Amino acid sequence: MLCQFFKSRLRSTRPLLVGERTNVIGSRLFKNLVAEEKWEEASEIARRQVKGGAHIVDVCLQSTERDEKKDIPVFYEKLIRKVKAPVMIDTTDPTAIELALTYCQGKAIINSINLEDGEEKFERVVPMAHDYGAAVVVGCIDEDKLQAQAFTRERKLAVAQRSYELLTEKYGLGPEDIIFDPLVFPCATGDENYIGGAVETVEGIRLIKQALPEVRTILGISNVSFGLPAGAREVVNSVFLYYCTKAGLDLAIVNTEKLERFASIPQHERDLAENLLFSHPPKDVPADFSQGELLRNVPADWREQKKEQRAAVNQYHIAAIAEYFRTAKKKEKKLAADLPLDERLANYIIEGTRDGLIADLERKRAEGTSPLDIINGPLMAGMAEVGRLFNANELIVAEVLQSAEAMKASVNHLEQFMEKADTAKRGKIVLATVKGDVHDIGKNLVEIILKNNGYDVVNLGIKVPPEELIKAYLQHHPDAIGLSGLLVKSAQQMVITASDLRGAGIEIPLLVGGAALSARFTQTKIAPSYGKAVCYAKDAMTGLRLMNQLMDPATREQVLHEHAASGDGFAVATTVVVAELPKITRSPKVRADLPIPKVAYLDRKVRLVPDLNEVWSYINPFMLYGRHMGFRGDFEKRFAQRDPKAIELFESMEEVKRDAGEFLKPRAVWQFFEAEADGEAMHLFAPGAAEPVHTFRFPRQRVGDFLCLSDYVLPPQNGKRDHLAIFVVTAGEGVRERSEKAKNEGYYFKSHGMQALAIESAEACAEWLHRRIREDWGFPDPPEMTMAQRFTSRYRGKRYSFGYPACPNLEDQAGIWKLLRPEEIGVQLTEGFMMDPEASVSAVVFHHPDCTYFSVGDVGEA
Ligand code: B1M
């Protein structure tokens, strides 16, 4: 489990959190519970930490007041039943370490050993680490009489390097089992010996990670803020953690329940913390400030500051931050608490937070308000504001999901006090993805938004045939039916479905949505087929607005009127003036006289792609954070500028990745084929065979450059044929079930984020495999090629997916299935020629340097 964690951290910028509250030295509560031998309650603290986000639990039972070895068995017995997270055994007594190790399941961590007494601790403890397969925290401490605990960055590195050599060479410990603690010193006690300690620790981490990249690093974060007021401590700890993480910190010992999110710290507070941590030269020092002279012309690097300057700078920043948090912070907190209760309740929803929510819901109930009135009153007012803010571009999809989570938590809590009959909803809608289509993510987003805005949603799932919809209509008596679909084919299936619903006498409004759909297609094709109003919803929020308008007697008629059919459906069309087929069999724009590159192999390859981080590095951030999670603007740029929204979104997605790391398995099947073109036909052959195994026929452009995909296959040269590659990749195994589970439990961000991650992992896997295919073809990308260049296909050749404008015929997917048998990697082809699971991509890859993306023109309009 620990290894999995570590693996998934390799490219992450968030450290694993180690809960620090089960420590008799650091937590008075834990100490008292241990003293009173309340083991049940004491072990509850561990469970709470894990619930609060800890990935590992640090346990320290070592004190002068008790016999640690008597306490270990009773406490660990309870602990291992309640907590499945790895345990960090925090004691200096080797016999206690060994005793605790006997209770730990899976991999444990020993905290800690060092060189303070020479190699004594190494000699005693490392053999235990070997015996129990544990990792070891190694403090940057040695025998130095003057300063055993390494303070400067250089000494931290030197002690780490010496320990590393001993541990790996003499004691045979693997680098992956070594976790260095570069040590933290308090920056706000006024002790001159510790000034600059925070910077040195950050830089120490950086040096250690550069010199010894395979080891991990760990820090006890809270020590840095010792001596400050509580509010200031939370901020300073969080800012310090942020910089340590950027320097490469892998594990952080923190109070997970009291960690302020870096992204939500106001800029001014961040500045105060940074000034203190980094001993920045003070700005705008008042002219009459007592030590004013010392605070002018201060060098930026604390090491270049004079001794008196250092002390004055440190005092100045301590005073500034302490003063701010003694006054301003208190005021702010008071203000929030002073808001009228209804406003506070609405605010929980708008801000997507649950901190204090249940207590305030109870206060509202105590006022005599019924649960239903609470939902329909202040909570719904909050959701309405969320909708308004989203439409005004002030909230992004990810934040709307957090608001929905707060709403779901409120409803879950209130439900226990509601009568069965108390389910007055705003309306009911049956939602489904149409026959042949596996598209789930868009429909589920619609479900979440509608449900948490008071609608009863019956989600029938994917690949739903008209008969099932009719059955659901008769059973649930909905006010509307919502249809979803990804592809043009699904838009056409909506026309058929609408006609079947009409045939069954259904007349309630239809709402339709999907990437390949348009308002025009809806009005001119689907609505005539249905004979009643069909509303096109470009996104989930539009779906909500339409439902609200349809359920409001004041606006209903107008909406129905606006979305009535125009024309008679099948007849209305797409009068496309089709130009005559050109009399050419090859585009003059595509060269035919190029040498045919060799391919390395011609057999079919089937692969599990085990390195998720490798695949994820090919994810296009614009797609994941922008299109799916709704971030507006240039995500990468804003992230680099430390935009709080970008950072928060990134960190939340990292959490989704951590979960996904446990089950997401990108798989690929691909093969190079010999190929020959004959006009618009492209024949594929088994090696050396005379007869093709399959022939694809592509449309040719009727105007412009008269391009056709088959032109990208070079004519045979000296009896040797050209080649192309075909592939199918997937990252969808197990995604639907897990996302559904998270949705049902009210973890909407996770639910949506997981589907978005899977989808973009499939696309990333396609990009990754395409690169590999180029390498196997003998023309690897130049080393300086960036991902951004890759995303805009600045490489040799291109890949084309059926359904896209150069090869719109989705039925050609059947050819791929015949040739590659992607069932072996778990991908099925539906009757609508879609790939199930949803997070799958297929493509044909050409090497021709003249390849370009083009459209063959109108191909069935939607
Ligand atoms: Co592909 N894809 N894709 N794709 N993809 C499209 C849809 C396409 C239009 C691109 C193009 O040609 N420019 C094209 C379809 C054209 C066609 O049909 N001929 C296409 C194709 C061809 C394909 C493949 C077939 C390619 C291939 O591999 N051969 C393949 C099919 C996948 C499969 O079979 N499983 C494929 C794969 C993929 C990815 C997996 C890589 C990825 C994810 C797809 C997905 O979202 N499930 C992907 C993506 C990202 C896209 C585009 C770029 C974006 C789709 C999107 O936004 N999804 C898309 C091009 C485009 O739109 N510019 C494209 C996010 C989702 C949340 O949005 O589903 O629209 P959406 O849901 C919205 C609204 O539509 C609305 O609310 C939702 C939430 O706001 N809504 C409703 C939806 N249903 C509603 C119901 C309601 C109300 C509102 O009722 C009340």
Tell me the sheet residues that pair with 671: 726
CB 568 within 8 A of CB 528: yes
Angstrom distance (rounded) from CA 230 to CA 325: 8
Q: Is the CB of 762 under 6 A from ligand 1?
A: yes
* Range among 638-647, 706-715, 780-789 with highest mean pLDDT value: 706-715
pLDDT in tens, 224-260: 998 888 888 989 999 999 999 889 999 999 876 666 6
Q: Tell me, what's the pLDDT at 574?
A: 42
Give the Cα separation of 570 and 495 in Å (integer).
9
Question: From the CB of 545, is ligand 1 less than 6 Å away?
Answer: no
The rounded percent of the chain whose pLDDT value lies above 70 is 93
DSSP code of 678? E
Give the DSSP per-residue string, 741-793: HHHHTT-HHHHHHHHHHHHHHHHHHHHHHHHHHHHHHT-PPPTT--HHHHHTT
| Beta carbons of 10 and 4 less than 8 angstroms apart | no
Which letter, b or e, does each residue of 47-67 get, where b requires 16 or more Cβ atoms within 10 Å of its Cβ? Answer: bbbbeeebbbbbbbbbeeeee
> Which residue's CA is the nearest one to ligand 1's atom 11?
804
Q: How far apart are CA 478 and CA 510, in angstroms?
A: 11
703 neighbors 857 (Cβ within 8 angstroms): yes
Which atom in ligand 1 lies closest to the alpha carbon of residue 859? 19
Query: Residue with the nearest Cα to atom 81 of ligand 1?
Result: 513
Q: Which of 165-179, 574-588, 673-687, 758-772 has the lowest mean pLDDT?
A: 574-588
Task: Extract the tokens encoding 88.
Answer: 């960090």
Instruction: Tell me phi and psi for residue 536, to 5 degrees.
Output: -85, 125
On the CB side of 191, CA atoms within 13 Å amount to 11
Closest residue by CA, ligand 1 atom 28: 841
Q: Is 158 left (phi over 0), alpha (psi -120 to 50) or beta?
A: alpha
Whether the Cβ atoms of residue 59 and residue 88 lie closer than 8 Å to each other: yes
CA distance linking residue 743 with residue 758, whole number of Å: 16
**pLDDT of 2 higher than 60:** no
Ligand 1 atom showing the smallest separation from residue 836 Cα: 35
Write down the residue that tokens 């609470």 correspond to. Answer: 374
Cα-to-centroid distance, 517 and ligand 1 (Å): 10
Write out pLDDT tens, residues 43-56: 988 988 887 778 89
CA 751 to chain centre: 10
- Mutate-to-test residue for ligand 1 from 486, 489, 538, 664, highest number of ligand atoms within 8 A of CB: 486
pLDDT band at 10 (very low <50, low <70, confident <90, very high): very low
CA 441 to ligand 1 center in whole angstroms: 9
Taking alpha carbons only, the member of 84, 82, 78, 81 closest to residue 61 is 78
| Helix axes of 68-82 and 94-101: crossing angle, nearest 10 degrees | 30
Q: Is the minimum distance from the CB of 765 to ligand 1 under 6 angstroms?
A: no
| CA–CA dist 790, 781 (Å, integer) | 9
What pLDDT sits at residue 862?
A: 37
- Give the closest residue (by CA) to ligand 1 atom 10: 804
Q: How buried is residue 595: exposed, middle or buried, by Cβ count under 10 Å (0-12/13-18/19+)?
A: exposed
103-125 pLDDT, tens digit per residue, is 998 889 999 999 999 999 999 99
- Name the pairing type of β-strands 251-254 and 216-220: parallel
- Is the CB of residue 840 below 6 angstroms from any atom belonging to ligand 1? yes
- Max mean pLDDT among 472-476, 640-644, 661-665 falls in 472-476
- The reported pLDDT for the residue numbered 11 is 39
CB 443 within 8 A of CB 740: no
Confidence of residue 418 (pLDDT cuts 50, 70, 90): confident
Mean pLDDT of the chain: 90
| Cβ of residue 516 lying under 6 Å from some atom of ligand 1 | yes
Please say if the pLDDT value at position 318 is more than 80.
yes
pLDDT of 290 over the 80 cut? no
pLDDT at 257: 64
pLDDT tens digits, 150-165: 999 999 999 999 999 9
Q: Average pLDDT of 62-78?
A: 92
Give the whole-number percent of the chain exceeding pLDDT 90: 72
Q: How far apart are CA 55 and CA 121, in angstroms?
A: 27
* Pocket lining: 841 vs ligand 1, CB cutoff 6 Å: yes
Whole-number pLDDT of residue 718: 92
Atom 26 in ligand 1: which residue has the minimum CA distance?
801
- pLDDT, tens only, 729-770: 999 999 999 999 999 999 999 999 999 999 999 999 999 999
Q: What is the model's pLDDT at position 571?
A: 42
Through-space distance between the first and last CA atoms of the chain, rounded to whole angstroms: 48
832 CA to centre of ligand 1 in angstroms: 14
What is the mean predicted confidence (pLDDT) over 448-475?
96
Q: What per-residue confidence (pLDDT) applies to 775?
A: 95
Please tell me if the CB atom of residue 515 comes closer than 6 angstroms to any atom of ligand 1.
yes
* Strand-pair category, 798-800 with 534-536: unpaired
Q: What is the pLDDT of residues 394-416, one digit of tens each?
A: 788 988 998 999 999 999 899 88
The pair of three-digit structure tokens given for residue 172, joined into one six-digit string: 């045979």
Q: 623 alpha carbon to ligand 1 midpoint, in Å?
A: 12
Q: What is the DSSP string of 41-72?
A: HHHHHHHHHHHTT-SEEEEE---TTS-HHHHH
Cβ pair 515, 485 in contact under 8 A: no
* pLDDT higher than threshold 90 for residue 339: no
Both structure tokens of 168: 């790996």
Q: Which residues pair with 459 in a beta bridge?
A: 431
